[in-house]
Amino acid sequence: MLGAMQGWTMRVTRVIDHAAREAGSREIVTRWADGSETRTDWAGIRRDAKKMAQALQSLGVKEGDRVASLAMNHSRHLVSWYGVAGMGGVLHTVNPRLFEDQLEFIANHAEDRVLLYDAMFQPIVDKMRDRWTTIEHYICYDSGEHNPAFEDWIAPYGEDFDWVEGDERDPCMLCYTSGTTGNPKGVLYEHRSTVLHALVGLQPAAFNFSASSVMLPVVPMFHAASWGLPYAGAMAGIKFVFSAVNEPAVLDELMKREGVTDSAGVPTVWLAHFQYCDATGTDLPKLKSATIGGSAAPKFMIERLMKNGTRVQHAWGMTETSPIGTVGGPTADWDQLSFEEKVGKTAMQGRPVFGVELRTVDLDDMSTELPRDGKTSGALQIRGPWVIKRYFKAEEDAVDADGWFDTGDVGILHPDGTLQLTDRTKDVIKSGGEWISSVELENAAVGHPAVAEAAAIGMPHPKWDERPVLFVVKKDGADCTGEEVTAFLVDKVAKWWLPDAVEFVDDIPHTATGKISKKDLRARFADYTLES
Ligand code: ADP
């Protein structure tokens, strides 16, 4: 017997319909790369998405076809999220920081037919055009002499257009992982997975949105669907403030002028903002919440934001998980915790939102599930309706027979559900048979006033197999010695975790998503030897 309630296909077009109907005049502000600003609203986004859907159809784009974007955060990019989905297409958000070979690979692999791009990426387009074999049409988001400009392209069409309907399991977005190993892999989000993910993203234990929220997402729209913010924000009818540039001075001014209550970005974004405020003597913006994810948020960052009255939502996830996996927020014992304890808890990666199941398994025997005892670390696995099943065009599933996806992360689960991420599987440091968390070492090291960035890697050691070596980039104009850094770590990590050496470097290699690339760092120091 079936239940007797209404069927209501979960399509992302329902999200924009809702936003336009219930919060139609709520503003969407864009600060463009050239310094100009425009304002539209949810009704305007929907209107332009309807126009764009027809413009795509007139180019011959069909349901299921991929339309790529190479763009920063702005209202026209937002229009594309809904316009492409609205004609049944799949928006492939391309990370402009990828290397040329990766850019070539992903556009051809995705078989993108149209590319929408910002004028600032014209050099990439010029360089790649001959190597991209499937792209037939180039549309520039800005007006310029090169290709049709977005506004002119959609102008001939009216608002009178019925969204293309279909199954809720149809794809709507494609996002490639940056591929620190091998070629990038495509993650194909569905209408249903996207709607469910956004619904959960709204809740108090995640982004905590209400109609009065004003969000400036620093996390790029090309990075894991901007953490689902453009959908969750539409559901709640929030005001968005977008910036097509990520300079702290611009962000700071926008946050203060536009009454921004919430923001989201990787730790480096907040670090840059702190540095800007310190250098100019400006106060940090009084945000209600700051979501930090993508890499571990260091304690000093959490502490400073919390002291400024900002709730820190430290989140963990990956492209393969849409990306929300866990989010930090007040736990049941929150009111009994001291400030230091709250900071300590927030430095962990939070708890799974409804819909996400987590487990840790033995790194050497994946069939053995580990206890959630707050001390045993293992390979982190995840399953849920917005977690990947199979990479785009892959021939085999990426999950085991029970649906678990192995994240490649190593973590500890605590009895209250909190996830504490300790490493990537490939980066674990094993000394004398015991694990050392490079994440915790790095986190503690960046608390030193002279340290800008730190990366710990395991180096071969004759007695202990591996010992940690800490690579450190000093802050501009700051100085310190290796002994000082080690002394600073003494009361922060176990004694046997202390690095055997601290090496100062000018820079640490990063991936296209801004994460430390330990693979490249290890390659750079392949000949490094530790004294026994
Ligand atoms: P990429 O495209 O660089 O592979 P993702 O954005 O999908 O990247 O990266 C996901 C990875 O980022 C996770 O598997 C984890 O290692 C790391 N990560 C994400 N959030 C956090 C966090 N809060 N703390 C520590 N590491 C994190």
Local structure of 459: helix, strand or coil: strand
Longest dimension (CA), the chain: 75
User: Could you say which of 256, 288, 430, 474 is catalytic?
Assistant: 430
**Are residue 271 and residue 381 in the same domain, yes or no?**
no
pLDDT at position 178 = 73
Binding site membership of 322 for ligand 1 (Cβ less than 6 Å): no
379 and 327 assigned to the same domain: no
Q: Which tokens go with 387?
A: 């977690």
For this structure, is 430 an active site residue?
yes
Amino acid at 236: A
Nearest to 429 by CA among 414, 440, 413: 440
Contact 511 CB / ligand 1 (< 6 Å): yes
Does one domain contain both 219 and 73?
yes
Give every strand in the sheet of 405-413, ordered side by side.
Answer: 357-361, 377-383, 405-413, 419-424
Q: Which of 298, 321, 346 is the last residue of a domain?
A: 346
SS3 261: coil
Residues 409, 336 share a domain:
no
Residue 419 and residue 433 in one domain: no
Do 316 and 376 have their domain in common? no
Nearest ligand 1 atom to alpha carbon 315: 23
Beta bridge partners of 413: 419
Together in a domain, 120 and 82: yes
Q: Please work out whether the CB of residue 513 comes within 6 Å of at least one atom of ligand 1.
A: yes
Annotated catalytic residue 440: no
Q: What is the pLDDT of residues 54-96, one digit of tens each?
A: 999 999 999 999 999 999 999 999 999 999 999 999 999 999 9
Residue 323 CA to ligand 1 center (angstroms) comes to: 9
In a domain, 66, yes or no: yes
C-alpha 519 to ligand 1 mean position (Å):
15
Instruction: For residue 223, give the ligand 1 atom closest to its CA.
Output: 6
- Choice from 426, 515, 517 to test ligand 1 binding pocket (greatest atom count within 8 A of CB): 515
Verify whether ligand 1 is closer than 6 Å to residue 424 (CB atom): yes
> Residue 529 C-alpha to ligand 1 middle, in angstroms?
29
**Nearest atom (ligand 1) to Cα of 408:** 14
Q: How many A from CA of 20 to the centre of ligand 1?
A: 33
- Which of 30, 40, 177, 513 is catalytic? The answer is 177
Q: Are residues 171 and 288 in the same domain?
A: yes
377 and 311 in one domain?
no
| Res 463: pLDDT | 87
What integer pLDDT is reported at residue 99 of this predicted model? 86
> 130 C-alpha to center of ligand 1: Å?
33
In this structure, which amino acid lies at residue 213? S
Domain check: are 264 and 339 in the same one? yes
Predicted pLDDT at 494: 87
Residue 515's pLDDT is: 86
pLDDT in tens, the chain (532 residues): 999 999 899 999 999 999 999 999 999 999 999 999 999 999 999 999 999 999 999 999 999 999 999 999 999 999 999 999 999 999 999 999 988 999 999 999 999 999 999 999 999 999 999 999 999 999 999 987 667 799 999 999 999 999 999 999 999 999 999 765 678 999 999 999 999 999 999 999 899 999 999 999 999 999 999 999 999 999 999 999 999 999 999 999 999 999 999 999 999 899 999 999 999 999 999 999 999 999 999 999 999 999 999 999 999 999 999 999 999 989 999 999 999 999 999 999 999 999 999 999 999 899 999 999 999 999 999 999 999 999 999 999 999 999 999 999 999 999 999 999 999 888 889 888 888 989 889 999 999 999 999 999 999 998 888 999 999 999 988 999 999 999 999 999 889 999 999 999 999 998 888 888 898 999 999 999 887 6
Among 372, 396, 426, the domain boundary falls at 426
> CA–CA separation, 297 vs 421, rounded Å?
11
In a domain, 532, yes or no: no
- Note whether 532 and 461 are within 8 A (CB): yes
Shared-domain flag, residues 377 and 451:
no
Query: Which residue of the set 81, 270, 435, 464 is catalytic?
Result: 435
Does 4 fall in a domain?
Answer: no
Q: Is residue 226 domain-resident?
A: yes
Distance 34 CA to ligand 1 centre (A): 31
Q: Please, are residues 228 and 194 in contact by the beta-carbon 8 Å criterion?
A: yes
Backbone dihedral angles phi then psi of residue 67, each to the nearest 5 degrees: -120, 125
138 shares a domain with 244: yes
Find the 108 Cα to ligand 1 centroid distance in Å: 25
For residue 463, the domain's CATH number is 3.30.300.30
- What is the tally of structural domains in the chain? 3
| Enclosing H/E stretch for 408 | strand 405-413
Residue whose CA is at the smallest distance from ligand 1 atom 10: 318
What crossing angle do the helices spanning 75-86 and 42-58 adopt, rounded to 10°? Answer: 60
Residue minimizing CA distance to atom 12 of ligand 1: 294
pLDDT of residue 145: 67
Q: Tell me, using a 6 A CB cutoff, whether residue 226 lines ligand 1.
A: no
Has residue 10 been placed in a domain? Answer: no
In a domain, 83, yes or no: yes
pTM of the complete model beyond 0.75: yes
* Span from the CA of 47 to the centroid of ligand 1 (angstroms): 35
CATH of the domain at 326: 3.40.50.12780
Helix (H, G, I), strand (E, B) or coil at 207: coil
DSSP per-residue codes, 128-193? HTTT-SS--EEEESS--SSS-BHHHHHTT--S--PPPP--TTSEEEEEE---SSSS--EEEEEHHH
> Which domain range does residue 486 map to?
429-524
Quick count: other Cβ atoms within 10 Å of Cβ 155?
A: 11
8 classed as catalytic: no
Question: Does the beta carbon of 319 lie inside 6 Å of ligand 1?
Answer: yes
pLDDT in tens, 103-121: 999 999 999 999 999 999 9
409 lines ligand 1 (CB under 6 A): yes
The minimum-distance atom of ligand 1 relative to the CA of 292 is 23
Q: Is residue 392 part of a domain?
A: no
Tell me, what's the pLDDT at 143?
A: 83
Q: Kindly name the residue from 168, 303, 320, 440 that is annotated as catalytic.
A: 320
The answer to the question of residue 397 being in a domain is: no
Q: Is 256 a catalytic residue?
A: no
